[in-house]
């Protein structure tokens, strides 16, 4: 692994996020930069962790799930356990999304039915007023 390090502003600029977001992930225990006085020094591992957090957020993982994946990171062991866990979480997320899509379709049908009933009731009300 490279001995390159990053400042908080380097990571923020490179990953297009705010320094505040990086500090938040640090407060949550997801990143652990070295400290030189007040300055935070991030390692390549921190950068990988941050990328994993951002990717996880984009696909709907919780911070706890991101933490679990970060803890499994093992560049020397080929990351098999991390990758298998990630695949399992992706399958779970996909299942959740499929269920949400079914729920949305059902809700749309119920909205269509409610709308149709309201339109019929309104039409009936207008016709009854015209008869009087």
Q: What is the pLDDT of residues 71-128, one digit of tens each?
A: 888 777 778 888 899 999 999 999 999 999 999 999 999 999 999 999 999 998 988 8
The pLDDT assigned to 22 comes to: 96
Global pTM exceeds 0.85: no
Which is more confident, 129 or 50? 50
Task: Give whole-number Cα distances, 20 to 47, 56, 74, 79, in Å.
Answer: 15, 18, 27, 29
Question: What average pLDDT does range 39-66 have in this prediction?
Answer: 93
Structure-block tokens of residue 75: 């560049």
Cα–Cα distance, 85 to 23 (Å, whole number): 26
Spell out the domain ranges in the chain: 8-71
The pLDDT assigned to 113 comes to: 98
- Max alpha carbon distance in the chain (Å)? 88
Structure-block tokens of residue 129: 């007023």
Question: What average pLDDT does range 28-48 have in this prediction?
Answer: 92
The pLDDT assigned to 1 comes to: 44
Cα–Cα distance, 120 to 128 (Å, whole number): 12
The pLDDT assigned to 132 comes to: 62
Q: If pLDDT is split at 50, 70 and 90, which confidence band does 25 have?
A: very high
Cα–Cα distance, 106 to 83 (Å, whole number): 35
Give the CATH fold of the 8-71 domain. Answer: Multidrug-efflux Transporter Regulator; Chain: A; Domain 2 (1.10.1660)
Number of H helices, E strands in the chain: 5, 2
């Amino acid at each position: 692994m490279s001995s390159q390090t990053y400042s908080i502003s380097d990571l923020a600029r490179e990953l297009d996020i705010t320094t505040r977001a990086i500090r938040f992930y640090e407060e949550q225990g997801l990143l652990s930069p070295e400290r030189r006085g007040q300055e935070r020094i991030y390692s390549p591992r921190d950068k990988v962790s941050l990328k994993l957090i951002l990717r996880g957020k984009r696909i709907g993982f919780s911070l706890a799930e991101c933490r679990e994946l970060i803890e499994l990171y093992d560049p020397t062991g080929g990351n098999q356990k991390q990758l298998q866990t990630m695949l399992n979480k992706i399958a779970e997320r996909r299942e959740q999304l499929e269920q949400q899509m079914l729920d949305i379709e059902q809700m749309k049908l119920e909205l269509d039915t409610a709308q149709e009933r309201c339109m019929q009731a309104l039409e009936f009300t207008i016709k009854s007023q015209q008869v009087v």
